[in-house]
Amino acid sequence: DRLMERIMSLNGPTHDLPPQDTAEKKFSGRNRLYVGNLTNDISEEEIKNMFSPYGEISELFVNKEKNFAFLRMDYRINAEKAKHELDGTMRKGRPIRVRFSPHSSAIKVKNLTPWVSNELLEKSFSVFGEIERAIVIVDDRGKSMGEGIVEYVRKPSALMALRKCNEGCYFLTASLRPVVVESLEQQDDIDGYPDKNIQRKNPEFFKAREIGPRFAQQGSFEHEYGTRWKQLHELYKQKEKALKREMAMEEEKLEAQMEFARYEHETELLREQLRLREADRERQKREWEMKERQAQERRSREEEVQRRQQEEMAMRIRRQEEELHRRQQENNLFMQ
């Protein structure tokens, strides 16, 4: 199919990939805003008038029954400005809520080798559809963390990448480590959880907020259970570290097995190629010997035909000479 044709076109060395185009794409999924806590008399025109001072608007959707709307701003900086200035503003006695909507066409790509760059990630996943943004996540030293994010223009492209990579083994390099693709669960690390979003009508709110921040006194009831919580988290960290060490050892083991299996596989391929070459040599030898026999037989037949022709010619000449000699004798007798 067309997908396999696009993937086959990527086969071959990827040593020299062109630099990635880092220019921001207009109306990307990262610029999609959610507008909530509206009233059912809201109109598209009012939403446009509200957000148009901050930039161009696209894909406006208003749900009057549930009192919310979605829209896309042209660029991220304009979306951030609109969100910052409009979130919490009052409209008909209600503070409107403006926040970034999760990217619905984004996926997370795991199990990347250290040799996968932004460019290779984008090139590899562009076979599933047009990409807005593709990055490999790095640590504070700029080292790849083995994970990346791919944001598509359309959601069906992300769903296809998710399905195809989970159904099969998709490799990005010579390594036999297939990528693991998951839906991206985005977390809000920009706005966080402001106090205005807490449900103050919940009685648990007042119970929890009756006492403010403090350190527990040694030997107190609070200190005992606080210590238990800390021990529980420490146990979690220890188990997490042990699991990571075990996973690292298993990965190293699998890597070694993979390299040995690759060597054996390549060796077997060479053996098979050698067997095929030897079989081909034997076949060519038999064909040459057969052609040589055929040529020898043809030469023998031609020599036999030539010998017979020479014998027939010699016999005709001999008969002609005998006939001539007989006539000469008859002429001599007649002359006497």
The predicted-structure confidence for 103-149, as pLDDT tens digits, reads as follows 889 999 999 999 999 999 999 999 999 999 999 999 999 999 999 99
- 108 in the same domain as 75: no
Residues 110, 125, single domain; the answer is: yes
> Which 8-state DSSP code applies to residue 123?
H
Task: Give the pLDDT confidence score for residue 185 in this predicted structure.
Answer: 82
pLDDT at residue 332 greater than cutoff 90: no
Average pLDDT over residues 279-303: 94
Contact yes or no for 146/115 (Cβ under 8 A): no
Domain that holds residue 60: 29-100
Residue 221 lies in a domain: no
Cβ 189 vs Cβ 160: under 8 Å:
no
How far is the C-alpha of 253 from the C-alpha of 66, rounded, in Å? 54
pLDDT mean across residues, the chain: 91
Distance CA 152, CA 107 (A): 8
Q: Which residues pair with 182 in a beta bridge?
A: 108
Report if residue 204 sits inside a domain: no
Percent of the chain with pLDDT over 90: 70
Least-confidence region, from 7-11, 181-185, 330-334: 330-334
Cα angle vertex 328, ends 327, 332, to 5°?
Answer: 115
Residues 238 and 323 reside in one and the same domain:
yes
> Whose CA is closest to 36, among 87, 97, 85, 86?
97
For residues 20-25, give the mean pLDDT.
87
What pLDDT is stored for residue 74 in this prediction?
Answer: 94
- Span 69-80, mean pLDDT? 95
Residue 216: what are its φ and ψ, rounded to 5°? -75, 145
Polymer length of the chain: 336
Average pLDDT, integer, range 272-279: 95
Residue with tokens 């932004």: 118
Q: What is the DSSP string of 211-243?
A: S---PPPTTSHHHHHHHHHHHHHHHHHHHHHHH
Asked whether residue 14 is domain-assigned, the answer is no
Residue 52 lies in a domain: yes
Which of 100, 119, 141 delimits the end of a domain? 100
Q: Is 57 helix (H, G, I), strand (E, B) or coil?
A: strand
Residue listed under structure tokens 């930039």 = 55
Q: What is the CATH number of the domain that holds 96?
A: 3.30.70.330
Identify the pLDDT of residue 201: 84
pLDDT tens-digit series, residues 212-242: 898 888 989 888 999 999 999 999 999 999 9
98: three-class secondary structure by DSSP:
strand
In a domain, 220, yes or no: no
Residue 234 domain flag: yes
Supply the DSSP symbol for 60: E
> So what's the pLDDT on residue 188?
62
pLDDT band at 334 (very low <50, low <70, confident <90, very high): confident
In this structure, of 196-210, 258-272, 294-308, the range with the lowest mean pLDDT score is 196-210
In this structure, are residues 42 and 67 in contact, taking their beta carbons and an 8 Å threshold? Answer: yes
Q: Can you read off the two tokens belonging to residue 61?
A: 């959707």
Q: What is the pLDDT of residue 189?
A: 59
Instruction: Give the pTM.
Output: 0.70
- Residues 84 and 108 grouped into a single domain: no
Pair 150, 107: CB distance under 8 Å: yes
Cα separation, 55 vs 77, in Å, equals 10
User: Is 16 part of any domain?
Assistant: no
| pLDDT tens digit sequence for 87-115 | 989 999 999 999 998 888 999 999 999 99
Structural domains in the chain (count): 3
* pLDDT tens digits, 155-213: 999 999 999 999 999 999 988 889 999 999 876 656 777 787 788 888 888 888 888 89
Nearest Cα to 117, choosing from 135, 132, 129?
A: 135
| b (16+ CB within 10 A) / e for 164-202 | ebeeeebebeebebebebeebeeeeeeeeeeeeeeeeee
End of a domain among 100, 117, 151?
100
Instruction: Decide if 126 contacts 90 (C-beta within 8 A).
Output: no
CA dist., res. 111 & res. 115, Å (int): 12
- If you search the block for the tokens 């979306």, which residue do you land on? 79
Other Cβ atoms within 10 Å of 109 Cβ, number: 26
How much is the average pLDDT of 257-275? 93
State the residue for tokens 């299996």: 261
Domain end marker among 72, 100, 128: 100
Same domain, yes or no: 279 and 318: yes
DSSP state of 64: T
Do 37 and 127 belong to one domain? Answer: no
Query: 141 with 94, same domain?
Result: no
Is 5 a domain residue?
no
Which is higher by pLDDT, 24 or 190? 24
Q: What is residue 11's predicted lDDT score, i.e. its pLDDT?
A: 82
Do 231 and 313 share a structural domain?
A: yes
Question: What is the mean pLDDT of the segment spanning 71-85?
Answer: 95
On whether both 252 and 272 belong to a single domain, the answer is yes
Residues 95 and 33 placed together within one structural domain of the fold: yes
Torsion of CA 266, 270, 276, 278, to 10 degrees: -160
Together in a domain, 260 and 300: yes
* Number of C-beta neighbours around residue 291 at 10 A: 10
235, 319: one domain:
yes
